Each structure stands twice: as structure tokens, then as C-alpha cells.
Amino acid sequence: MFRIENGYFHTIESHLLEALPNQFTFPFYYTPHSLCIAAADEVKSYLNFQTDFEHNFGLDDHKKGLRIGKMFGIMIVETEQGQLGYITAFSGKLAESNHIEGFVPPIYDTLDTDGFYKKNETYVNSLTAKIESLERNPDLEKAKLNLKQTKLETIQNLEDFKRNAKAEKQLRKQRRVEAEGRLSSEEKELFFENLKQESIQNNINLKYLKLDLEAVVLKAEQNLAKLIQPIESLKLERKRLSARLQKKIHEQYKFLNAKGEIKDLITIFKDTDLGKPPAAAGECAAPKLFQYAYAHNMKPIAMAEFYWGIAPTAEVRKHGQFYPSCRSRCEPILGHMMQGLDVEPNPIELAGKFDGELEIIYEDDFLLVLNKPQEFLSVPGKTIKDSVLTRMQRYLPEATGPLLLHRLDMSTSGLLLVAKNERTHKKLQKQFINRTVKKRYVAILDGTLKTKKGTVDLPLRVDLNNRPRQLVCYEHGKKATTKYEVVEVKDNKTRIHFYPISGRTHQLRVHAAHHKGLNMPIVGDDLYGTVSDRLHLHAETLGFEHPVKGDWVSFNCETPF
């Protein structure tokens, strides 16, 4: 069992020992080894009953404080003496601390009161306090309102002047017409000259009015600037200090690998797409585990990570479930830290291969409908070029236009529509945009869904820290709506029909798995659920108006599960 008196290394019960894995876990796509599961069960049991620290995981409604779930990592290791056991870690802070007995320490402790970070953080916080105090100054708000009111009055004064000038111009025009019939030539010449001088004077008055008004506005702007300038100076100082502090922190995160090589965060992320470390890089459980193992001459054998606590608002996370390491923060770091280890091959690079012929359900001179197999790309990826699109380009060498009207996830099977020419594509595309195309998907959910039918409406956007996963985001997400209808409930599984109104990436998968959706992942969903023989999601029917013949056509492809 999990014993904190043993320090950071925890022994494994002898009856659990079995054949060890031949290669270390590929952390971004894996099935947990039985030893990792056993070790994780010990940690979970400890988390359920421990009284060593106070942290609200959101599992007890009576607990007070902010509810925050956490990722925990387990690493099976072998010591220099040949003893097998495991070490464990948590991501970020736990109970507002970086140090919890039994869990390996952070790579760099930002909470160390004697460290440069906390000392500089105190000064940064003092700058923030000064900025907030100056921003609360009543004179600042008065100056802003004064400037706003001055500008409004300036506009009104100019409009009033121009309106009066226009009326006077009309009056001069009328007086000029009236003078034509009643004045002599000499009188008219003098009269018209007076009218001209009135017009000139009016333009001069407008010029000086503008200058006067600009001076009033400038004075109001200068008054406001005097109050804003010290705030901006403090903000600039805070920004520069924060940047220097962040750089120095990144330099403190020094990561070992199995070869004994060391790299800091800045070096690791220098040649990535980001170019610099993202927030909280190095604080995840996996880097902590590697660092501790290498620093104490332990050999990493296998690893797994699980989530503990209430589901976060945006992500799909299930209490107690295993998940891969995050990509944007951990992939570059672990790419360095796993150097020198014999690691399982990336299964994603091995996926996407289909040696058979694509099954064409229907074809005419204008379009075709095919059945995309599971684990096959709709369009080429970064490393895998074989796809439905490349196959269609070879099959239809004379075709014009983009060919594909829509896509399916690599893991999803079912019907795809292909246009053979650009005109057909545009007509069909219009139907997709107008949402008149009818699609029905079949899925099997991992659990018993109590509702018989309904609608899920959760906006989605890409998880920038963990592509290609999607997040539920009400601020930046795109509207995504799915209707559903239960077909059958059997053996704690729910067969369901999905009718997507929109077509967002991973829409059905997230709407099924997210706790604000159906809270029930699709069987075999390796991103939002658990790995199985396949993703049980299939595009079964597709209906649309034929772009040339004009009649409604509908196609069906038998569900393979």
C-alpha cells in the first residue's frame, strides 16, 4: 500500500510483480500497464482516505474552498539495487503547496520563500497594488469624463456653427437673387462684395472656432495624460520585470534525460512552433517523475497518469480515468527527457494505414459517395499522406475543384461525399452551408443514458495546449449543436443516433463525453474516453438534393458494430 514513511519510493507488493514491459510507455498514447494500474490504485486509495493535507477535489459537497481536480502520475522504476517500485507526482500545486509527503518534489520550487521568485513576486505585487491605487483615483475618472464631455461639446459646437453657416449661406443666396431686380449695377457690385466678405469672414470664424475647440480638447487630454503617465510607467516597469523574472525562472527548470544530458526550458522550446515555453511548462506530473528518477539513478520502466476530482469546465476529464500527457507543454520536454530510453513507437505514426480499396456506395457523372474505413484520414496529415483525398485524386484524375465536401475524424467510419467538378462542389457546398444536408451517425456510449432524446448545445474550440483535443468554450468557441435519439440500452451500453446540426471538429465525441453534454464517452474514444478495439462512431446515412438532377437522394452504409 501507499506509505509516505518510505519517502518518495514506494514498494510494490510481491504478488503483483509480473513480466515487465519490453519498452517504456509512449506517454501521449498508451494503454496503462497492469503494474501502473496497481500502483495508481494504491495512490487513489490513499487520496480517498488521507488526512495529511487539505485540498478540495470537488468530490465532497461539504468541503469548502475552490474545487480543483488534479492530474497524478505514476512511474514504475527500478533502483540501483534492482528493487522495483513506483514514484508518484501531481501536476502543479496541491493544497497550495509544491511539497506533499510521498510525492516527488517539483523541478523548481516557485513557492520557496527564500528564492528569487517569491522575493521578486512581492515587488511585482507591490507595483500592481500601486497601479490599482492610482487607477482608483477619483480624479482619473473625472478627467476621463471631462475629456469625453469636452469632445462631445466640441462636436456639438462645430455642428451648430456649420448649421448656422449653412442657413446664412442660403440667406445670402436669397438676398443676391432679390438684389438683381432692384439695385443698379454700382449698388449690386458693392452689395455682392459685402456678401462675399460675409462668406469669407464666416470661414475665418470657423477656422478660429476649430483652433479654440482643439485647444480645449488638448488641455483636457493633457490633464488626463498627467494622471495616466505614472500608471503607464509602473505598468511598463512591471512588464519588463515580469519578463526578466519569467526568463530567469525558465532557466531554473533544468531537465535531465537518460543520457545524463541537461537542457532548460528556453533551450527545449526554442525550436518549437511556440518558440518559447508556455505557461506552467515543467509543472506537469510526468517531467517531475522523470527528473526524480534520473536524479536518483532509477530506471524508468512504465508510466501512466490519471485525473482525480471534479471535471474542469472546459475539458473532458473523468474522475479516476487514465489520460495521456499533454502535448504543448510536455511533448517537447519529454522528447528531451526520454532520450536514451527505449520507448514504445508512436502508435499515431503507425495508424492511418489502409491497404484495401475504398468502397464506393454510389457514383454518377457528377459525384460519388464512399464508405471511409476507420483509422483512415479524410485528408493528408503532417506525416501520413495516404487519405481519402489523395486516393480520390488518383481515382478521378480529370476532376476539378476541392473534391471532398466534408470530413470525418480519422477514427470515424462512414459516408463521405465527393464532387467531381467545381460547379457540383459549389452547389453541394451551399447545401452544407444552409444545413439542408441530412446526416445521421450511429454511436455506442459507454454507459446507460437515461434520457431518450434531446439536444446538446456546447460551443467548441481547439485546445491550444493539447491539439487536436477540443474544449468547451463559451467565450471563444464556435456554436455546435447536436440532436440525439437513443436506439437501445443493453449491457450498460447505449446505442444512439446523432444528428449534427453543425459540423465542428470532434463535435459528437465532445458532446457525448463532456459533463455538460451526455457525460458519457463514445466506446473506444481514445481522446475523451478509453481505448478499445475501435471508435464506435459511424456516419450511417447521408441525404441531400442532387445538384444536377434536382431530386432528393439518400444513402445508407451499414454500421460495422
Give the pLDDT confidence score for residue 423 in this predicted structure. Answer: 96
d(CA 59, CA 126): 36
Give the pLDDT confidence score for residue 2 in this predicted structure. Answer: 74
Give the pLDDT confidence score for residue 16 in this predicted structure. Answer: 64
DSSP character string of 156-210: HHHHHHHHHHHHHHHHHHHHHHHHHHHS-HHHHHHHHHHHHHHHHHHHHHHHHHH
Helices (H), 296-387: 327-337, 347-350
Give the pLDDT confidence score for residue 347 in this predicted structure. Answer: 83
List, for residues 297-325, the tens digit of each pLDDT value: 999 999 999 999 999 999 999 999 999 99
> For residue 363, what pLDDT band results from cuts at 50, 70 and 90?
very high
d(CA 193, CA 455): 79
Owner of C-alpha cell 439518400: 554
Residue 128 backbone dihedrals phi, psi, to 5 degrees:
-60, -40
More confident site: 118 or 140: 140
**Crossing angle, helix 327-337 and helix 285-295, to 10 degrees?**
20
CA distances from 52 to 45, 102, 283, 320 (A): 13, 10, 22, 20
DSSP-based three-state secondary structure for 195 = helix
Q: What does the pLDDT average to over 2-29?
A: 82
Identity at 232, one-letter amino acid code: E
Helices (H), 416-459: 422-433
CA distances from 204 to 121, 172, 210, 284 (A): 59, 17, 10, 71
> For residue 384, what pLDDT band results from cuts at 50, 70 and 90?
confident
Q: Is the pLDDT of residue 527 over 80?
A: yes
The terminus-to-terminus CA distance of the chain in angstroms comes to: 41
> For residue 15, what pLDDT band results from cuts at 50, 70 and 90?
low
> For residue 1, what pLDDT band results from cuts at 50, 70 and 90?
low
- Work out whether the CA dihedral 285, 286, 289, 290 comes out positive or negative: negative
Give the pLDDT confidence score for residue 467 in this predicted structure. Answer: 84
d(CA 198, CA 185): 20
Give the pLDDT confidence score for residue 408 in this predicted structure. Answer: 97
> For residue 545, what pLDDT band results from cuts at 50, 70 and 90?
very high
Give the pLDDT confidence score for residue 17 in this predicted structure. Answer: 66
Query: Residue 524 corresponds to which cell in the numbers above?
Result: 473506444
Q: What does the pLDDT average to over 412-426?
A: 97
Owner of C-alpha cell 505585487: 125
Q: Is the pLDDT of residue 6 over 80?
A: no
Q: Is the pLDDT of residue 536 over 80?
A: yes
List, for residues 62-117, the tens digit of each pLDDT value: 888 899 999 999 999 999 999 999 999 999 999 999 999 999 999 999 988 888 88
d(CA 496, CA 488): 7
Give the pLDDT confidence score for residue 62 in this predicted structure. Answer: 87
List, for residues 476-504, the tens digit of each pLDDT value: 999 999 999 999 999 999 999 999 999 99
Q: Is the pLDDT of residue 364 over 70?
A: yes
DSSP-based three-state secondary structure for 254 = strand
List, for residues 445-460, the tens digit of each pLDDT value: 999 999 999 999 999 9
List, for residues 201-240, the tens digit of each pLDDT value: 999 999 999 999 999 999 999 999 999 999 999 999 999 9
Contacting residues for 454 by C-beta, under 8 A, at least 6 apart: 483, 484
> For residue 118, what pLDDT band results from cuts at 50, 70 and 90?
confident
Give the pLDDT confidence score for residue 54 in this predicted structure. Answer: 94
The burial of 457, by beta-carbon neighbours within 10 Å (0-12 exposed, 13-18 middle, 19 or more buried), is given as middle
Q: Is the pLDDT of residue 161 over 90?
A: yes
Q: Is the pLDDT of residue 270 over 70?
A: yes
Give the pLDDT confidence score for residue 14 in this predicted structure. Answer: 65
Average pLDDT, whole number, for the chain? 94
List, for residues 16-41, the tens digit of each pLDDT value: 666 889 999 999 999 999 999 999 99
Active-site residues: which are they?
A: 409
Query: Residue 420 corresponds to which cell in the numbers above?
Result: 467531381
